[in-house]
Amino acid sequence: MTQGNPYKLLIAFTLPLFVGNLFQQIYSMVDTVVVGRYVGVDALAALGAVSGFSFMVTGFAQGLGCGFAVLVSQCYGAGDKERMRRAYAMSVVLSLVVGLVISLLCFAFSMPLLRMVRTPGNIIGMANDYISIIYLGLLACIYYNLFSAILRAVGDSRSPLLFLVLSSILNVVLDLVLVLVIPLGCAGVAIATILSQAISAIIAYVYISRRFPDFRFRKEDFKFDIPLAKTLLKTGLPGAVQFSVCALGVIIVQIAINDFGSDIVAAYSIGNKIETLITQMFTALGMAISTYAGQNLGARDFNRIRQGFRACFVLTVAWAVISYLLSFVVSEPLAYVFIDSQTTDPDVIDNALLYVGTVVKFFIPLGMIFLFRTGCQGLGSGLIPMVSSITELTARAIAAFTLPIWFGYLGICYASPAAWVAAAIILPFCYVLQMRRIRRQLDRPATA
């Protein structure tokens, strides 16, 4: 990432990530499809009712891994292999400690939280079965995301793709076995998700150890280094909390949706799945610019960092336009994949399409969030992603509880766009301030 044309590098790095993200979303969709078609629309609504809670912990895992990998990418760009290996070892230790605490806390409060958000009584049992297993298996998700982030930090975006493909295949097979053969319902798809991630995490760890000798641990690497741990937590925890704060916004919207009944919950869940699938390129571009920024900061090349952000901005806007047009082609066929149209109220599909048709108009602000938030995280800022996430949370909460008063379900559809616009407005200014700070930081040794 420190040499060559930024456009070519970002595209080459992003495409495997994009394909991998698609596989990840597809196997997540398979959970929903299997449940919706073979267990029933109430089971589908149950998965939708806990989507915010699921996003909270899986987003936490992704944010923690990406945050820890920031220091690894900076050390890699600077050629400091000793510190890079120690940062990797400390990331493994911190992931275990943080993961256990979050896992046990979430499991303990699972049912009270579902009652608090007014989950409909006919689906709350299935919802709790699913999310409790996800909570207990959080460590598998954390290490799966950590090892993938470490590989991306050193410029390898292809291997995580292969692990995602493997995880996807495992998840699909286990879904079918644990729902159709062994009728475990919602609990079955949760077990399938955790097992597939755990197996992929083990394979990824073995691959890193064999493929990259500089990452092979030594006994002394696990000696607790307080300054190093603080540095890792400075980028890791804000990244993790950032996702969790965004998830809290999703949960707040879910409270408003739950009052509309299980059919609307199911429709929103389907629409959200389609939106997430279409927007995976933004996620991939965000991961790419984070790695690019981190490596070039380590290499102390300010102009190259700026060139990378410009290139990623162009690519982000281009995908926003493409995905808007793509939504008109794929939304309806995808919506019908999730349920049996012969036995389900057609309003479920109509309301799902209404959601997608609303949010696609705001994909440029959404793309800007991924660009500037993860890019600034790659430059070592934990504050900017946090401020952005809090802004997004506040706007989503206000929209979710005010717009439905006048517009009903359509008001719910506008909650996410309101949050995206609010966060996207402040992020470019935050980026400019961050770049000024980086420039002063890099100029100091030159003038000393």
Most confident listed range (17-31, 41-55, 322-336): 322-336
d(CA 335, CA 353): 8
Structure tokens given for 47? 């998965």
Q: Give the C-alpha distances (Å, rounded to integers) separating 129 from 126, 132, 189, 225, 326.
A: 5, 6, 10, 39, 35
| pLDDT level of residue 445 (50, 70, 90 thresholds) | low
How far apart CA 381 and CA 437 sit, in angstroms, is: 11
φ/ψ region of 333 (left if φ > 0, alpha if ψ in -120 to 50, else beta) reads: alpha
DSSP 8-state symbol, 185: T
pLDDT tens-place string over residues 239-286: 677 677 777 777 888 788 877 877 888 888 888 888 988 888 998 898
Please state, rounded to an integer, the average pLDDT across all residues of the chain.
Answer: 84
pLDDT at position 239 is 67
| 117 or 281, which is more confident | 281
Count of CB atoms within 10 A of residue 150's CB?
27
Six-digit token pair at 337?
Answer: 């994949």
d(CA 34, CA 340): 11
d(CA 24, CA 133): 19
What's the full length of the chain, in residues? 448
**5-22 mean pLDDT:** 84
Report if pTM > 0.85.
no
Residues 40-88 have pLDDT tens digits of 778 877 887 887 788 788 878 887 887 788 788 888 877 888 888 888 8
Q: Are 384 and 434 in contact (CB under 8 A)?
A: yes
| 123 — pLDDT class (breaks 50, 70, 90) | confident
pLDDT given at position 341: 62
Are 244 and 60 contacting, i.e. CB atoms less than 8 angstroms apart?
A: yes
**Distance of alpha carbon 357 from alpha carbon 335, whole angstroms:** 12
Q: What token pair was written down for 448?
A: 């000393």
The gap between the terminal CA atoms of the chain, to the nearest Å, is: 28
Where does the pLDDT of residue 362 fall: very low under 50, low under 70, confident under 90, or very high at 90 and above?
very high
Confidence of residue 136 (pLDDT cuts 50, 70, 90): very high
Contacts 24+ apart (CB under 8 A), 259-263: 259/118, 260/409, 260/412, 261/120, 262/41, 262/42, 262/45, 262/120, 262/122, 262/123, 263/41, 263/45, 263/345, 263/347, 263/348, 263/351
Rounded-to-10 torsion of CA 215, 218, 222, 225: -80
With pLDDT > 70 as the criterion, what percentage of the chain qualifies?
96
Averaged pLDDT for residues 178-205: 89
Question: Minimum mean pLDDT among 28-37, 51-60, 261-270, 420-429: which range?
Answer: 28-37
Of 155, 136, 142, 141, whose CA–CA distance to 4 is shortest? 155
pLDDT at 121 over 60: yes
Q: What's the one-letter identity of residue 204?
A: A
Does residue 224 surpass a pLDDT of 70?
A: yes
